[in-house]
Amino acid sequence: MGDIIGKYLENPDFTKEEFAELLGFASDPEAAGRLREEAVRIRKLHYGEKVYTRGLIEFTNYCRNDCYYCGIRRGNLHARRYRLTKEEILDCCDRGYELGFRTFVLQGGEDRWFTDERMAEIIRAIRSRYPDCAITLSVGERPYESYRLWKEAGADRYLLRHETANEAHYRKLHPSGMSLAVRKLCLYDLKLLGYQVGAGFMVGSPGQTAECLAEDLVFLKELQPHMVGIGPFIPHHETVFAKEPAGSVEQTLFLLSVIRILLPKVLLPATTALGTLDPRGREKGLEAGANVVMPNLSPVKNRKHYDLYDNKICTGEEAAECRGCLSRRVESVGYYLVNERGDAKI
């Protein structure tokens, strides 16, 4: 049993077996510390002390999917469904722009009410009003042609977490209509179309093993995404996994460092899920190698209905409050928020 941490620091080009062994050290404080130090060195080399912000606009919680972990799954009949109008979305952007945001993330469930053309119209409206801002979409799986139309309409980036790169595990987390193969195809389509692409997964989702996580890392290495969103799994009371334990903050932080070292220039958010499980979760995320935060720009009246998991933070705060709060938090660990698009330096 050699020094697997030392080996990783020297050359992170690991096999699945080596990643699995590395992950065995996730709760070893000394190992985590060594990875964290290198992760922070690399993040500072490429991004200095800057932290990029993305204004998240959760514009619909209708969803045709039924993912077992997610609170807005179709099968949750207690969810109060809402859709923002184009005008409401533009209002969110207006407020966001004033607050310094230069990236807007349109995130929603898989809601086909927003047809290709309706989405394109919204994208064009944001694009013409804010030529200096990046537009990120996060609306799930769609055909290549839809992605192409939206790219032409002015979208720049797309977030689509792969959730798990292990076939059997993917089937445990999703109903039979969904497949890892389609998810991967979408990610490669998006890359081909020239989007800056974000993949990612939950840490500690039911049935996840070190081997699954090792496969996630191998897949990330192969995909070479511009962004990687990871956060701990958190149970939602109206889902199949209501009684399952949440993922671990410690393991999430360990993985953030591992990913920063694996993909040095990647954009890595300190996620809301991390901040939900630990009051200093996002700060700890930054200290482990993250360089992005994604505060909420959705109207406060809709916030609590975009209910992916229980106890989600920031559902009562106005956009300006979240911005101020995050700015203080980021500064408390020696970084600062910037008003830039924050494109990946890849």
Which of ligand FES, ligand 5AD, none has residue 326 at its interface (CB below 5 to 8 Å by kind)?
A: ligand FES
Q: Which of residues 232-251 bind ligand 5AD (CB under 6 A)?
A: 233-234, 236
338 DSSP assignment: E
Rounded to a whole number of angstroms, the minimum distance from the CB of residue 323 to ligand FES is: 8
x/- binding map, residues 312-341, to ligand FES, per CB under 6 A?
A: --x--x---xx--xx---------------
Exposed, middle or buried, 95 (CB in 10 Å: 0-12/13-18/19+)? middle
Strand order in the sheet with 292-293: 292-293, 50-53, 336-338
Q: Could you identify the residue written with the tokens 């410690």?
A: 250
Which of ligand 5AD, ligand FES, none has residue 317 at its interface (CB below 5 to 8 Å by kind)?
A: ligand FES
Parallel, antiparallel, or unpaired for β 134-138 and 103-108?
Answer: parallel
Which CB sits closer to ligand 5AD, 119 or 202? 202
Amino acid present at 26 = A
C-alpha–C-alpha distance, residues 327 and 330, integer Å: 5
Q: Kindly list the distances between the CA atom of residue 266 and the CA atoms of 198, 206, 228, 276, in Å, as whole numbers in the listed order.
A: 9, 27, 7, 23
Q: Which of residues 258-297 bind ligand FES (CB under 6 A)?
A: 295
Which of ligand 5AD, ligand FES, none has residue 163 at its interface (CB below 5 to 8 Å by kind)?
A: ligand 5AD
- SS3 assignment, position 64: coil
Which CB sits closer to ligand 5AD, 38 or 58? 58
Give residues in contact with ligand FES (CB under 6 A). Answer: 295, 314, 317, 321-322, 325-326
Give residues in contact with ligand 5AD (CB under 6 A). Answer: 69-70, 161, 163, 202, 231, 233-234, 236, 273, 308-309
